Every structure is written in structure tokens, then in C-alpha cells.
Structure 1
């Protein structure tokens, strides 16, 4: 498996294509996360998802990490923030939410993320919305509300957030903050080195919560199916999806 470097010809790939493919990988993650919530507790799901991702990336990222270690040390605060926000806390809250809500609700609420990103960019960065962005926000909101309403105003008015939905919304809020903070990503840091480092940070941050969860007798029920699901999430929804998202945001902007 060859993963393109930050300076490779993959720059020619449309960032909009990358940002379009990413939600597909994440939708698969929502479905697997909900389907396996009885076998894999949320903190364990977060921990093992990224542990698998780290293993997948290790052969490709290690050389870049070694070469750019001085740059990584120089920007450790930013990398710490991005790792905790985008890898640890965001994923843990999402999987926690899937214990109380459906995969469908998770995917629908996840579609609010672009709206949150634009709103937070305007709030914190004072970025003015273009007419195209404003139209995109309105279309996104209208689409989500239509799905929630199932074509019925009464259905929309009867909609109530449950505990899981609230966790998912908080997860999306952290993801939006992560996306905005990507503007402070260390310049010149290789794509794989960057993702590998924040994956290690996020996995380390979630480790105490995973241990605490296990001590409460909430442990993974290991089967070949569970291992395969975690491996696929680690490869597609973590490694590849995050590379696509980070590169797309880097070229388009938050």
C-alpha cells in the first residue's frame, strides 16, 4: 500500500473530491460503531481504532517522524491540542453517543459539521461568508431538516434530542474546532508524520479512560469479526479519511 506524500502529484487531485470521499468512510464508521456498541465499549473503540491506525501508518510514517522530529518538538503544543481534539475527545464522544442513539441519527447530525465549521470560523476568526458559502449552509440545513422531518412538519416539531444525540453534537463541535485549528498545523510537516503524531497523542490521551472503562468490567468481546471491523475502521475511517480531510482542508481552508 503506497500513501502519497505531502509533496506528491496527488496535489493534482481535487480537494473537493477528497472532502467528498471522506464522509463516506466516516458513514461506515458510524454504522460499525453502532452495530458493535454491545461488543466494544466506547473508550475501547476509540483506543483500538487508533491503535490499528498507528500500526498501519508506522511503516510509512516513521522515517518522516525521525527526519522531522525537531519540527515536531518545536510545535508540540499545537500537535497536542490537535491530537486531543481531533483524535481522542472527538471520537470518544461520538462512540459514547452511539450507545444511546442510532447510526442514522449519528450520520444526520454529522452532516451539521460543515455548518458548525463555517459558524465557528465566522465567530472566532471573523471570516466573512461568501454568497456561495451562505447558500451552501442553507442547503445543508434544509437537507438535514428535511431528513429529520421525513417530509412532515409535525414529525420535525416532535423531534427530541436524546442523550446520545447530545454527545454526538458535542463530538461534532470538537471536530469543528479541530478543523479550524488545522490552520496552525506546523508548516512543512509531512502529512503522514502529522497524522501519526496526533494519532499517538489522541490514543495516549484516551488510554486512562479506556483503562477506567475496563476496570468497570466493560471489556471488548473479541471475535474475528470485531478485530476485522476495528482494522477496517483503523485503515479507512482513520488513516485514509483523516489524510483526505486534512489535505482537503489545507487546500480549501476551513
Structure 2
């Protein structure tokens, strides 16, 4: 297996960390915003994260000034949509609606990203991708409604849900723009610039919000959760997300978003003693299998066969 093939296979496994960290961010962020205001919380998350990324890029000599000059508008749009827009709606929405409703809305991300990528970016659409998308989406619904139609019927939508819809739109646009920008801009550099720009806009916004006076009074739990949001949910997750879009495309990367509510539930089960039903377990398995079906292909599975056939031909 060539180096490029190994890297492509490896990113499928590394991408599993993205929904793991973003799944955990639902509970962490919802608790943090009970102690400090939403935009201040977002600034506290992305400010330090951007400094860490800037340090990494500087120490590894990965500054791409020529790329910045050429792709500045695309990078700015990624920052405005994926960092500022999505996370502003995310933090504010958690003050009005439940994590269940938010998970339900964000679970539709792969549908819109996949169709958007097929329409505007000429990404491949096939039955395998469609089947995996449908299967994982059904699994998400099973997990969220706990296999009960009564839960689905009783779901009510409010201003927080509309904010999540706005966040969803921002995230879809962010992914599609990222696919274009990262044809020339490396994932680490892209993550660094967009995170820095997003944190800059958040910092200005937070000055008008006037919530910094509450930060010194944050509990130890909130500081631990904020550290998780900075390192895991921002630095690591956003880098891997951009790397995934760069290597396997926006459509396949977006399917990992289906795993976010799955991880949110088992993390709540493990850390907060929440219950789980057998229907949710079935739904989780459907999501995992659906993502596997859509993100793997005959090309990956038959690499060894092709290599063996080539060797036999040479012999």
C-alpha cells in the first residue's frame, strides 16, 4: 500500500475523534453558559485555541503567506461561517433549547453538505453513499427519539431551534467553501487562520456583551470543560475536520456529524449517569454501519488484491 493510500485510510480513523470531541462539547458548553455569557464563552474557547495554533504553525515553519494573499477571502468566509457564525448560534441556542433538539437539527448536516457538494463542487454521488447517508440518518433519529414515536411527536421547537438551523446553514457553507479553499491551503494553516480570525471577531463582540466580569467566578468544573473545548473541540477537532475535507471530500467528512449525537448520549451515560434504551443502541449501530458504508469503497478494500495482481503480472 502506497504512502498516499495509507494516509487516506488513516484519516477515516482519525476523523472519529471529531464527533467524539464535538459530542462532548454539547454538555460542556451547555454547563459553561450557565456561568458566563455565550459570546464570552466562545471568545474564551477560540482565543487561546488560536494562540496555540499560531504557535504550532510558527514552530513548524508552516506559514503560507502566498496562500494567504491568494485565498484571503475564502479563509475569511470560512472564519465568518464556521467559527463565528456556527459557534455564536451554537452557544446562544443552548440557552433556549435542549441538546436533543440541537442534535436532531445538526444531524441533518450530511444531507445538505452532500447535496451541496454534488451540486456545486462536482463531488461523486452514488448509491453506496446515498445508502450510507440514509442508514446513518435513520439511526440518528432512533437514538434521539429513543425508539418512541411519542418522543418525536412531543418535540417542540422554539427560538433556540431556529438558531440551531441558522448554525446548520453556516456549517454547511463553511464545509463547501473549505473544500475549495483547501485545494491550495493546507489544513493546519487553514484551521489556524480561520480560528484566529473567528476569535478576533468574538473578542470584539464580547466587549459589547459585557460578560467578562463573570469569568473569575467560574467553577472548577467549568474551567475543566473550557480546557476540553479549547484543546479537543477546537484545536484537534477543527484541524482533523479540515484535514478530512481536504483528503476525502466534504460529503464523506460530513457523515461523521451523524456520530455527534451518538457520542453526546454515551458521554452523558458515562459521566452523568443518564439512561439508555435498546432502541438507542440499535440506532447507534446503524449510524456506525452507515458511516462505514458511505466512507469506505471498493478501491480501499481491494488495494491488496490489486497490488497482488500487479505483482503476479510482473512475475
Match of 2:289 in 1: none
- Structure 1 length normalisation: TM-score? 0.85
Distance verdict in 2 for CA 1:67–1:97, change over 3 Å: closer
Distance in 2 separating the partners of 1:226 and 1:54:
20
Shift of 1:225: 3.5
Pick the structure with greater CA Rg: 2
Q: Is the 8 Å Cα contact of residues 94 and 167 (structure 1) preserved in structure 2?
A: yes
Q: What count of residue pairs does the alignment treat as equivalent? A: 247
Question: Match of 2:67, SS?
Answer: helix
Counterpart pick for 2:34 among 35, 38, 43? 38
Higher alpha-carbon deviation: 66-75 or 166-175:
66-75
Structure 1 unaligned residues grouped into runs of 5+? 1-6
Distance in 2 separating the partners of 1:36 and 1:250:
32
Distance in 1 separating the partners of 2:117 and 2:169:
12
Q: Is the 8 Å Cα contact of residues 52 and 230 (structure 1) preserved in structure 2?
A: no
Match of 1:114 in 2: 110
- Structure 2 length normalisation: TM-score? 0.70
Shift of 1:37: 1.6
Shift of 1:159: 2.1
Counterpart pick for 1:135 among 131, 137, 147? 131
Distance in 2 separating the partners of 1:9 and 1:218:
51
**Larger % of helix: which?**
2
Match of 1:4 in 2: none
Distance verdict in 2 for CA 1:8–1:209, change over 3 Å: farther
CA RMSD of aligned residues (A): 2.7
Q: Is the 8 Å Cα contact of residues 149 and 156 (structure 1) preserved in structure 2?
A: yes
Shift of 1:102: 2.2
Q: Is the 8 Å Cα contact of residues 118 and 124 (structure 2) preserved in structure 1?
A: yes
Distance verdict in 2 for CA 1:161–1:10, change over 3 Å: farther
Structure 2 unaligned residues grouped into runs of 5+? 251-315
